[in-house]
Structure 1
Amino acid sequence: MKKLGFILMAIFLSAVLGVKTSEAAYLPEYDKYVEVSYEDARKIADMLGLKDIPLGEETARLSFEMQENLIAKIEVILKTEIDHYYIWLTVDGKPVLGIDPPVPLYN
């Protein structure tokens, strides 16, 4: 009986210690898609530092990667993970820019 209790306790402890808590991350299920004109998307891309880069899938990927890198650096400085999502600007139904909207963090 002691052996069985010991084995059950070992299994319980390994399960508790082995289960990783959920981490904050990019939450694509909360993404929003907003249809805009090409001109508006161009103005916003220019404001993001993507001046003279043609709008399209490549611009969407670049804007996403730039912001993901920035978020990763912020998380290192703050020593915390930040849940985030994107607003995808679309032209003719195709994403051209990904924008991570600022959300205030309160501790």
Structure 2
Amino acid sequence: MTDSIQQFKWSTGEKYEQSIKTDREKYIIDESKEYNNMKKLLFEDGTESCMRISNKREDANTKLNERCMIESISQNPFLPRNNYINDLQVQDEFLKPRNSNFNIET
């Protein structure tokens, strides 16, 4: 019996290139440049999003400032021109229940 191990690898038939240990510094420098570029891009994106947020905030503030001012006093919208005494008289006359079985004979 032969002890042979079969190995499978994904490739197009080309040989792999191994880097030399002295080339490592070159790759580290390239990675640091890429990191700085990414950092710069992220910073620019962050400032643009902050600017967009502030624009949304400004838009909301202008919409709020353009609204009509309403009274902050609680009042009955159905009786805006009556005074309190007239409202009490209307309540006594019409809104309080009465006994309809009670007949007054004069």
Same fold per superposition (TM over 0.5): no
> More helix by proportion, 1 or 2?
2
The structure carrying a bigger strand percent of its residues is: 1
TM-score w.r.t. the length of structure 1 is 0.30
Give the structure, 1 or 2, with the largest relative contact order (CA under 8 Å, sep 6 or more): 1
Q: Please identify the structure whose Cα radius of gyration is greater.
A: 2
